[in-house]
């Protein structure tokens, strides 16, 4: 599932194509992805409007339109925006397209989504899902005191709190797993048992994991997937720090990997 670094890469590319451009055509017939459902509304909301900005908070994208309207997009499990030649035919997984003109240049972006868990929402104001998001660690940084306060109130495993989109927007299974390995903390540790020094380690671990992934994603082609992780998806492989085999547990329904030596279970 795309996490913050992936969505930021999509935002940068979309912003480069769409910002300052005028929409000449826009279409989607996919009722499962579009909300509110009417396919006609998608084109009507976009055509003739200028895109003033493509913003992101957590895993949500927001296109600001010249008339004050907005298009929100969540990539779900397999969603992705790509640029194609305006004449290029639709691909099998194409669910929406937006064609634009800036000066004499014509360009086209397509929304591809094989499993169709993504969402495209046309709205006049910010939607509740956007408003409910916590600070974005890339755009806003990580407020250690706020994080400490939220963790201190929680019996939940620290990993679950990190993945709560109202706590920090955009952290998914990958970033949380990697951050806790950097922080040398067992992902199952209840939030309220963490010392302040440990919360500082968590915040630093998140920063390290985020910077590393951003660097890799920005250097990769399109949606090329590269395994650059220390422990995520590496069950059974040696820990890059101490060579202990990485273990895997299921935590709140998500596969979670960690090093039992570097991230010892709290007694």
Chain residues 200-239 in contact with Zn ion, contact rule CB under 5 A: 239
Judge whether 3 counts as a catalytic residue: yes
β-pairing, 105-113 with 79-84?
A: antiparallel
Task: From the candidates 49, 59, 70, 119, give the one annotated as an active-site residue.
Answer: 59
183 binds Zn ion (CB under 5 A): no
Measured CA distances, 255 to 140, 175, 177, 187, 225 (Å):
28, 13, 9, 11, 19
The smaller minimum CB distance to Zn ion, of residues 50 and 241, is found at 241
Task: From the candidates 3, 94, 178, 213, give the one annotated as an active-site residue.
Answer: 3
Kindly tell me which residue out of 22, 93, 154, 261 binds Zn ion, with binding defined by CB under 5 A.
Answer: 261
Neighbouring CB atoms inside 10 A of 36's CB total 10
Judge whether 192 counts as a catalytic residue: no
Please report the beta strands in the chain, taking only residues with DSSP state E, as ranges in sequence order. Answer: 22-27, 34-35, 51-57, 60-65, 70-74, 79-84, 94-102, 105-113, 119-123, 247-251, 254-258
259 binds Zn ion (CB under 5 A): yes
Chain residues 237-256 in contact with Zn ion, contact rule CB under 5 A: 239, 241-242, 244
Judge whether 59 counts as a catalytic residue: yes
Could you tell me how many residues of this chain bind Zn ion (CB under 5 A)? 7
Question: ω before 36 within 30° of 0 (cis)?
Answer: yes
7 binds Zn ion (CB under 5 A): no
Active site residues: 2-3, 59, 254
Please report, as ranges, the residues that interact with Zn ion according to CB under 5 A: 239, 241-242, 244, 259, 261-262
């Amino acid at each position: 599932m795309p996490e913050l670094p992936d969505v930021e890469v999509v935002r940068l590319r979309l912003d480069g194509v769409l910002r300052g451009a005028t929409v000449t055509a826009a279409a989607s017939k996919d009722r499962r992805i579009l909300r509110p459902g009417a396919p006609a509304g998608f084109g009507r909301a976009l055509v003739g409007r200028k895109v003033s900005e493509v913003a992101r908070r957590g895993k949500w994208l927001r296109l600001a339109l010249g008339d004050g309207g907005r298009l929100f997009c969540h990539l779900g499990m397999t969603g992705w925006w790509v640029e194609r030649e305006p004449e290029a035919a639709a691909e099998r997984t194409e669910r929406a397209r937006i064609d634009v003109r800036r000066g004499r240049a014509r360009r086209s972006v397509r929304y591809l989504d094989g499993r169709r868990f993504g969402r495209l929402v046309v709205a006049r104001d910010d939607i509740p899902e956007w408003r409910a998001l916590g600070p974005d660690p890339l755009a806003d940084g990580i407020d250690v005191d706020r994080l400490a306060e939220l963790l201190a109130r929680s019996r939940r495993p620290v990993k679950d709190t990190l993945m709560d989109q109202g706590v920090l927007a955009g952290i998914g299974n990958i970033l949380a797993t990697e951050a806790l390995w950097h922080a040398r903390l067992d992902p199952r540790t209840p939030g309220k048992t963490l010392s302040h020094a440990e919360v500082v380690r968590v915040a630093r671990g998140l920063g390290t994991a985020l910077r590393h992934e951003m660097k890799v994603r920005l250097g990769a082609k399109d949606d090329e997937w590269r395994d650059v992780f220390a422990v995520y998806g590496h069950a059974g492989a040696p820990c890059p720090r101490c060579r202990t085999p990485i273990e895997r547990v299921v935590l709140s329904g998500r596969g979670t990997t960690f090093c039992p030596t570097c991230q010892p279970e709290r007694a």
